[in-house]
Homo-oligomer: A and B are copies of this chain.
Amino acid sequence: MIGIGLLGYGTVGQGLYKIVSERRDQLSYILSDEMEVLRVLVRDLDKKRDVEIDKDKLTLDFERILDDSNISIIVEVTGDLEKGYNYIRRALEKGKHVVTANKAIVSAYFEELSTLASNKGVYFLYEASVGGGIPLIKPLKDIISFNEVSSIEGILNGTCNFILTKMTEEGLSYQDVLKEAQRLGYAEEDPSSDVEGMDTLRKLRILSTLGFGGVITEDDILCDGIENISDLDIKLLKGKNRVVKLIASTYAFADGYCSIVQPRAVEVGSYFANVNLAFNSIGIRGNYIGDLKLFGSGAGMLPTANAVLTDCIDVVLKNQNLETPLRGKGLKNNNKEIFGRYYIRLDSGTEEAFEDVIIEKLHEEPLCFLTREIRLMDLLDKIASYEEGAYSIIGL
């Protein structure tokens, strides 16, 4: 019997329990053994849940899961950074395999937990942490085994993409769409980690560190979110045949790499322009594999639980390498060299200060314009010097 200890019984945890219950026979066939969720760590034993579970399985005490010798795989889906990290660390130290969907933990402790698992000879898998149901981490591990990856880019946050899609299609304001997204469950009550770009940044940190074979931390990534984007921005760019998306990208540049999360206005008809609503998509370029793009459900109960269970199956069947996939390449961050053309909106700015960068003015008050090609750092300096109100910067 393969015993699973589940930490957290929120959306993903319930999804996993549901699938394991529904697919009992199929799983037994593939695994040549029974798989069972033996215990579930919760914070409230009596809370009503959508996916019903035998109350005897619930516990408030992590130690009961850690000390249960029948539990060989710990699935961490708490959504809590520090608690979750401690659970994972202790589980690995005790020689249990760990599968997590928690991108914040993977991002914050990627090297430490990967090394710990490798040293202990157990699995630490996190397919569900990026791209939800899209098979991404496992193909990426295959790709990096002999490709040089030169770029990774994607739409990695369903909440932002839902909001931007609705703003584009319905001409509504950011605030109105955010409220609708919250009502529909596409955005959290506190949406800051999504709309400010942190969630996207963490996912990019994970993909980049794997793909580029060296440490790229959260601090190595420039980050802007979507919370300053106005309906006017969307409308003016629509007039230029472009749609706004929050794009994460890391790419080889000069003798190093650049890594950035930023709103970008991509041309209508281009690949990312057609990734809408809560869908995610990731592009990977390698020297042998060429251009690869993956598209699918970036979140949601069943797609995310699907990824978690796929990891659990790989643990049982030993279908992935036990050695850490992280490499120790020294990488040079060239973010100060990032340059491009931009759309800018300045809520209280004056045209004079920006005369040397404007190539096309799109609106008077607030001042909205397109820039010539310019280093992003120079542009940010200029805005810091001359703009006192809100503004938006959108890459072209």
Contacts and interface: CB of A to CB of B under 8 A. Distances in A.
Interface of A: 19, 23, 26-27, 30, 133-135, 138-139, 142-143, 145-147, 269, 271, 274, 279, 286-297, 300, 302-303, 305-306, 309-310, 313, 317-321
Give the most central of A292, A309, A313: most B CB within 10 Å. A292
Given A138-B139, A271-B295, A287-B302, 13 more contacts: A19-B146, A19-B288, A26-B145, A133-B288, A133-B290, A288-B302, A288-B303, A288-B306, A289-B303, A290-B302, A290-B303, A291-B297, A292-B296
Contact of A320 (B279, B287, B305, B319): B319
Nearest to A298: B290
8 tightest CB-CB pairs across the interface, nearest first? A290-B297, A293-B295, A135-B139, A292-B296, A288-B306, A23-B146, A288-B302, A289-B306
Contact of A290 (B143, B296, B309): B296
Given A274-B274, A319-B321, A321-B319, A292 B146 contact: no
Q: Is the interface of A mostly helix, strand, loop or mixed?
A: mixed
A107 to B, nearest CB: 24
A287 B309 CA distance: 14
A134 B295 CA distance: 13
A95 to B, nearest CB: 21
Nearest to A310: B142
A284 to B, nearest CB: 9
A360 to B, nearest CB: 26
Contact of A269 (B269, B293, B294, B317): B269
A165 to B, nearest CB: 14
A290 B294 CA distance: 13
Contacts of A318: 318
A314 to B, nearest CB: 8
Given A145-B313, A310-B142, A318-B318, A296 B291 contact: yes
